[in-house]
């Protein structure tokens, strides 16, 4: 935890001595000692505002799954692509909730008889529907950017309940299923947005 806090703090503020104040990890940690005559000041990354992540409150019963390393990597890839697209934390919540519903955050290839048509990747996008090639839609960054491009085209998506925004992009046979993942998606964005 100490090294994670240090990386977060140093990545944001760096280490600086200004006016006798040490800007860096909290001095309470055993491996950090402020310079004599200075005061340790904690600098922490701002967590996303929950009211912005879930502006309408969660709708319906919520589901939650434990994530493995691959799934956490998918969360981070979605957040990175969201930032690359110039979109905010709410867009990341919508994208992560959508991927939780579509693939449980697993970058799925073709599933044979268990496959839904030719759906693949984190968002179960279909090459035959114009989402891109198999190679593209199984690339987490590409598939996220494609999903977000569709989301940007939804007029007023920011003011919609998550499930309606996601459904407008995905056109699922189960349009209300996205809502069940909103809380976990918001928790994941809170946890990983600044990591």
Q: Look at residue 108 in the predicted model and tell me its pLDDT.
A: 84
pLDDT at 112: 52
Cα–Cα–Cα angle for 164, 167, 171, nearest 5°? 150
Instruction: Tell me the pLDDT tens digit for each residue of 74-116.
Output: 999 999 999 999 999 999 999 999 999 999 999 987 555 545 5
Q: Is the pLDDT of residue 10 over 70?
A: no
CATH topology of domain 50-192: Lysozyme (1.10.530)
Q: CB count, 10 Å around CB of 74?
A: 26
Per-residue confidence (pLDDT) for residue 79, from 0 to 100: 98
Structure tokens given for 33? 């000692």
Average pLDDT over every residue of 179-185: 97
CA dihedral for 177, 178, 183, 185, sign (positive or negative): positive
The pLDDT confidence band at residue 172, using thresholds 50, 70 and 90, is: confident
- Give the pLDDT score at 111: 56
Find where tokens 């905010």 sit.
88
Q: Which residue would you say has higher pLDDT here, 119 or 75? A: 75
Q: Where do the domains of the chain lie?
A: 2-41, 50-192
């Amino acid at each position: 935890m100490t090294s994670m806090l240090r990386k977060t703090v140093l990545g944001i503020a760096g280490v600086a001595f200004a006016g006798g104040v040490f800007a860096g990890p909290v001095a309470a940690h055993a491996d950090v000692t402020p310079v004599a005559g200075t005061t340790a000041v904690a600098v922490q990354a701002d967590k996303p505002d929950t009211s912005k992540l879930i502006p309408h409150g969660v709708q319906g019963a919520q589901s939650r799954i434990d994530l493995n390393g691959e799934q956490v990597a998918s969360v981070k890839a979605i957040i990175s692509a969201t930032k690359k697209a110039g979109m905010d934390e709410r867009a990341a919540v919508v994208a992560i909730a959508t991927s939780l519903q579509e693939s449980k955050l697993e970058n799925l290839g073709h599933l044979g008889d268990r496959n839904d048509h030719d759906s693949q990747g984190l968002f179960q996008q279909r090459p035959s529907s114009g989402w891109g090639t198999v190679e593209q839609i199984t690339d987490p960054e590409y598939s996220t950017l494609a999903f977000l491009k569709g989301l940007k085209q939804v007029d007023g998506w920011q003011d919609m309940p998550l499930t309606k925004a996601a459904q407008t992009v995905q056109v699922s046979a189960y349009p209300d299923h996205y809502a069940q993942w909103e809380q976990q998606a918001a928790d994941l964005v809170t946890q990983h947005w600044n990591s």
